[in-house]
């Protein structure tokens, strides 16, 4: 054999790690929106990484422009849903199960 075996080699396409990370974080934020503090952090990170990946793809430095955009969309939706859950938790935090407001255990009629 006159020539050496070169093997399969590596893929030569442009890669976009920021877009991939944005998509992964966006999907996780979207799925875990009920755990609103975690989902809010992940949603913001997905928007940041997706934006960086989208800008790199637009300049031609990377591929996966669609994945970066999908990551930004999923991260934004996850962030909005987590914010709505936060508003719901804060607005109904002082209610008892029967719908009455918790007054701290004291009533104006029981204090003399």
Residues 6-54 pLDDT 10s: 666 665 567 889 999 999 999 999 999 999 999 999 999 999 999 999 9
pLDDT at 93: 77
What is the domain count for the chain? 1
Any domain includes 69 = yes
Residue 83 lies in a domain: yes
* pLDDT on residue 97: 65
For 48-59, the DSSP string reads HHHHHHHHHHHH
Residue 42 falls inside a structural domain? yes
In a domain? residue 109: no
Q: What is the pLDDT of residue 63?
A: 85
Q: Is residue 110 part of a domain?
A: no
pTM above 0.85, yes or no: no
Q: Could you give the CA distance from residue 5 to residue 100 in angstroms, rounded to a whole number?
A: 78
3/44: higher pLDDT: 44
**pLDDT for the residue 15:** 81
Q: In sequence order, which residues have a C-beta less than 8 Å from that of residue 22 and are 6 or more positions away?
A: 45, 46, 47, 48, 49, 50, 51, 52, 53, 67, 68, 71, 72, 75
pLDDT for res 16: 83
pLDDT digit string (tens) for 52-69?
999 999 998 888 899 999
Domain region containing 33? 17-90
Q: 69-109: per-residue pLDDT in tens?
A: 999 999 999 999 999 999 999 988 776 666 665 555 555 56
Is 111 within the bounds of a domain? no
CA dist., res. 26 & res. 45, Å (int): 8
Residues constituting the chain: 112
2 belongs to a structural domain: no
Q: Is residue 7 part of a domain?
A: no
């Amino acid at each position: 054999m006159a020539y050496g075996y070169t093997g399969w080699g590596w893929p030569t396409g442009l890669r976009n790690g920021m877009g991939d990370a944005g998509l992964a974080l966006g999907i996780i934020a979207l799925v875990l929106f009920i755990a609103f503090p975690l989902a809010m952090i992940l949603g913001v990170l997905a928007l940041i990484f997706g934006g960086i990946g989208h800008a790199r793809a637009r300049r031609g430095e990377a591929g996966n422009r669609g994945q970066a955009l999908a990551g930004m969309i999923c991260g934004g939706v996850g962030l909005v849903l987590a914010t709505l859950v936060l508003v719901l938790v804060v607005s109904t935090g002082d209610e008892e199960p029967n719908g009455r407001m918790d007054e701290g255990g004291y009533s104006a009629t029981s204090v003399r």
